[in-house]
Amino acid sequence: MIELDNLAYSYGGEALLTGLSLQLPPGSFHFLTGPSGAGKTTFLKLCYGALRATEGRLSLFGQDVTALDRDQIALMRRRIGVVHQDCQFLDHLPVEENIALPLTVSGQASPDQAANLMELMSWVGLTGRAGALPPELSGGERQRAALARALILSPDVILADEPTGNVDWEMSQRLLRLLVELNRMGKTVMIATHDLGLIRAAKAQVQARVLRISDRTIQAAGADL
List, by residue range, all CATH 3.40.50.300 domains of the chain. 1-79+155-225
The Cα 108–Cα 168 span in angstroms is: 35
Say how many C-beta atoms besides its own lie within 10 A of residue 62's C-beta. Answer: 7
DSSP class per residue in 127-159: GGGTT--GGGS-HHHHHHHHHHHHHTT--SEEE
pLDDT of residue 47: 92
- pLDDT means per 10 residues, the chain with 225 residues, are 92 88 94 90 92 92 87 89 90 94 82 81 92 94 93 94 87 90 95 91 90 90 54
C-alpha distances (whole Å) from 113 to each of 89, 96, 97, 143 are 20, 12, 12, 22
- The structural architecture, per CATH, of the domain 1-79+155-225 is 3-Layer(aba) Sandwich (3.40)
The answer to whether 225 and 196 have CB atoms below 8 angstroms apart is yes
CA distances from 75 to 2, 35, 79, 81 (A): 15, 32, 8, 12
**Angle 125-128-129 (CA atoms, 0-180°, nearest 5)?**
90
pLDDT of residue 19: 93
Distance separating the N- and C-terminal Cα atoms of the chain: 26
pLDDT in the model for residue 222: 56
For residue 11, the model assigns a pLDDT of 85
| Cβ atoms 187, 157 nearer than 8 A | yes
At 82, give phi and psi (nearest 5°): -120, 125
Helices (H), the chain: 40-47, 70-77, 95-105, 113-123, 139-151, 169-184, 196-203
* CA dist., res. 131 & res. 94, Å (int): 5
Q: HSE of 84 in the Cβ direction (CA atoms, 13 Å)?
A: 8
Amino acid 204: pLDDT:
87
Q: What is the pLDDT of residue 224?
A: 46
d(CA 211, CA 90): 33
